[in-house]
Amino acid sequence: MAFKLILGAWLSIILIVGFSFPITTNPTNWYDLPFVPGLEDKARILFFHVPMAWVTTLAFIISLIYGIKYLTKKNLDYDIISSSSAGLGMMFCVLATVTGSLWAKFTWGSFWNWDPRETSIFVLLLIYGAYFALRSAIDGDEKKATLSAVYAIIAGITVPFFIFIMPRIVEGLHPNEAIVSQGKISMNKTMLVIFLSSLAAFTGLFFWILNLKVRAARLESKYYLKGE
Amino acid sequence: MFEFFSQNALYIVMSIVLIGWVGIFWYLLRLDKKMNKIEKMFKE
Amino acid sequence: MVESIKIILTIFKKDLYSELRTRYALNALLMFVITTLSIILFSIGNESVSPELLSGVLWIIIFFSTMSGLSRTFVSEEERGTVMTLHLIAKPLKIYFGKLLFNLALLLGLNIFTVALYLLFVTSFSVGNYAIFITTIILGTLGLASGSTIIAAIIAKANTKGTLYPVLSFPILLPLLLTVINATKLSVENALFAEALGEFQILFSYLIVLTVISFLLFEFIWKE
């Protein structure tokens, strides 16, 4: 309970701080955020969009781990965790894609540019979509659990290939690549602290919602067991 | 006060997002409590 | 070792003979390629299309003909009710490799046919470096066969088989498709063989990774 209240307060503080700290060309005060040419106020997306993308990946990894656990132990409880995590991951994936796309329109000029990271999140979205399409097409809990776990593993194995492939096809547009090419990292200490605490807060939020989802799914399966 | 907000649109956005988050947070908290109750009911 | 190769070959031969007898997949696939190609030729008309674009179109034909043909291998067993018999006569891994071999043979034949037609009829598509082109076709075929065989095994257990197949395969085959399209572009641009080496490394490692993971996971699918 205490953990949840702290999380609520924490994310509220991040929202206030992330929006209200001024962006100046020459950061001197502790609360000043650095000015990035071409980004200005749009740099604030960092505090909200990147954690969403991180949670998407985290959810996929958790889904993968519990999928493997299901295959070795054949315990349906692992499948409940695995599929709940994938469901949440898909939601965060849509959020990250939409926020990123909206931001890209005003920074890079179009909603979609096939930048390496845009491509990989698009592929992740496709995988999540295919995963749930597969689940809805199979009858029987155990069959559903096994096949979707196998599919998640095969799909997860192919994702790292994009790290090698995409740079050969298009050049990166994402801000961190632009920042590195200028020869200095323009994220100052304040920005880094807000960013990292936002990452932690979003991770906490993800685990909380996952916990709720898993408990609801467990109750559902218990109800069906009782009914039969 | 009103003048300050009309000149700094960012703070209006901030309060809207903040209110949205507080609403979601409140809802999650209620859901958590309800889930505890139902879990207890199932144990009996 | 010799024994298991024999069993794998037996399964391969069984599929090959039943395919040659019924020509279920083969005829439909050849017609599919001809239909798609004629649509593309109609839509090109007298326009001059850049060969870079056409190298992408070639792989679109190959991808969709793979998607319409290769799901049959496991689905047909399921439909004819011969799965239990296969369970009895061979271990899962041997069945997997037998099926993989058959899919590979089917896809290789199909791709040779497609590429030959494509080179003959799409006049604005001319290959500069044939060494790159042929290596790309071979490695691409191997990768496609490996990826689509394991997905076909999953599909056979689901209810809506036909529509689900491309949906499940696309995210998995996307790294392969992007790389082969890139490599085909290089062959059209008459690049040196060394320039395409990076693409071949990716294709090769993709093939190895996907075959190994299918090899490890096939048993779980087959036993369901």
Backbone phi and psi for residue C124, each to the nearest 5 degrees, phi listed first:
-75, -5
pLDDT in tens, A119-146: 888 999 999 999 999 999 998 888 999 9
Asked if C174's CB is within 8 angstroms of A154's CB, the reply is no
Residue C182, chain A, CB below 8 Å: the answer is yes
Domain count along chain C: 1
H/E element holding C47? none
pLDDT, residue A173, reads 62
Q: How far is the CA of A213 from the CAs of A64, A82, B24, in angstroms?
A: 17, 11, 15
Question: What is the spatial distance between Cα A25 and Cα A36, in angstroms, rounded to a whole number?
Answer: 8
Contact, C151 vs C169, CB < 8 A?
Answer: yes
pLDDT, residue A227, reads 65
Residue A212, chain B, CB below 8 Å: the answer is yes
Q: Which residues of C touch A146 (CB under 8 A)?
A: 220-221, 224
- C141 is in which domain, residue-wise? 2-223
Q: Which residues contact A226 (CB under 8 A, 6 or more apart)?
A: none
Residue C93, chain A, CB below 8 Å: the answer is no
Q: What interface predicted TM-score (ipTM) does this complex get?
A: 0.89
Statement: residue C67 has pLDDT above 60: yes
DSSP code of residue A32: P
Question: Which among C164, C209, C210 has the least Cβ separation from residue A134?
Answer: C164
Q: Which residues of A touch C185 (CB under 8 A)?
A: none
Mean of the pLDDT values across residues C92-111? 90
Q: A151: pLDDT confidence band, cut at 50, 70 and 90?
A: very high
Question: What is the spatial distance between Cα C35 and Cα C28, in angstroms, rounded to a whole number?
Answer: 10
Contact, C173 vs C119, CB < 8 A?
Answer: no
- Return the percentage of chain C with pLDDT > 70, whole number: 100
Token couple for A95: 């959020």
Ramachandran sector of residue A157 (left: φ over 0; alpha: ψ -120 to 50; beta: rest): alpha
Q: How far is the CA of A92 from the CAs of A7, A64, A99, in angstroms?
A: 18, 16, 10
Asked if A126's CB is within 8 angstroms of C202's CB, the reply is no
Question: Which among A139, A146, A161 has the least Cβ separation from residue C220?
Answer: A146
- Return the percentage of chain A with pLDDT > 70, whole number: 89
Q: Which residues of A touch C202 (CB under 8 A)?
A: 161, 164-165
Nearest C-alpha in C relative to A121: C171
Contact, A70 vs A79, CB < 8 A?
Answer: yes
Asked if A208's CB is within 8 angstroms of B28's CB, the reply is yes
Question: Which among B10, B18, B39 has the least Cβ separation from residue A12?
Answer: B18
Asked if C157's CB is within 8 angstroms of A147's CB, the reply is yes
Average pLDDT taken over every residue of chain C:
88
Statement: residue C21 has pLDDT above 90: no
Question: What is the spatial distance between Cα C211 and Cα C97, in angstroms, rounded to a whole number?
Answer: 10
Q: C137: pLDDT confidence band, cut at 50, 70 and 90?
A: very high
Beta bridge partners of A24: A34
Ramachandran sector of residue C197 (left: φ over 0; alpha: ψ -120 to 50; beta: rest): alpha
The gap from C-alpha A12 to its chain's centroid, in whole angstroms, comes to: 19
DSSP state string for A62-111: HHHHHHHHHHHH--HHHHHHHHHHHHHHHHHHHHHHHHHHHHHHHHTSSS
Question: What is the spatial distance between Cα A31 and Cα A23, in angstroms, rounded to a whole number?
Answer: 9
Mutate to test the interface with A, among B19, B28, B34, B38 (most CBs of A within 10 A): B28
Token couple for A220: 């559902």
Token couple for A160: 């790292």
Chain A to chain B, count of Cβ pairs less than 8 Å apart? 42
Token couple for A148: 């979707």
Question: Which among A20, A212, A219 has the least Cβ separation from residue B11?
Answer: A20
Residue A4, chain B, CB below 8 Å: the answer is yes
Q: Which residues of C touch A143 (CB under 8 A)?
A: 157, 224
Domain boundaries, given as residue ranges, for chain A: 61-227
Residue A14, chain B, CB below 8 Å: the answer is no
Which residues of B have a CB under 8 Å from any CB of A?
10-11, 13-14, 17-18, 21-22, 25, 28-29, 31-32, 35, 38-39, 42
pLDDT, residue A132, reads 94
Question: What is the spatial distance between Cα A91 and Cα C49, in angstroms, rounded to a whole number?
Answer: 41
pLDDT, residue C101, reads 92
H/E element holding A24? strand A23-24
Q: Which residues contact A24 (CB under 8 A, 6 or more apart)?
A: A32, A33, A34, A35
For chain B, the chains sharing at least 3 beta-carbon pairs closer than 8 angstroms are A
Q: How many angstroms away from the CA of B37 is the closest CA of chain A?
A: 12
Statement: residue A184 has pLDDT above 60: no
Asked if C209's CB is within 8 angstroms of A157's CB, the reply is yes
pLDDT in tens, A96-105: 999 989 888 8
Statement: residue C108 has pLDDT above 70: yes
**Chains B and C are touching, with contact defined as 3 or more CB–CB pairs separated by less than 8 Å:** no
Q: A171: pLDDT confidence band, cut at 50, 70 and 90?
A: low
Which three-class secondary structure state does DSSP give residue A157?
helix
Q: How many angstroms away from the CA of A159 is the closest CA of chain B?
A: 32
Q: Which of A123, A117, A55, A62 is nearest to A92 (CA)?
A: A55
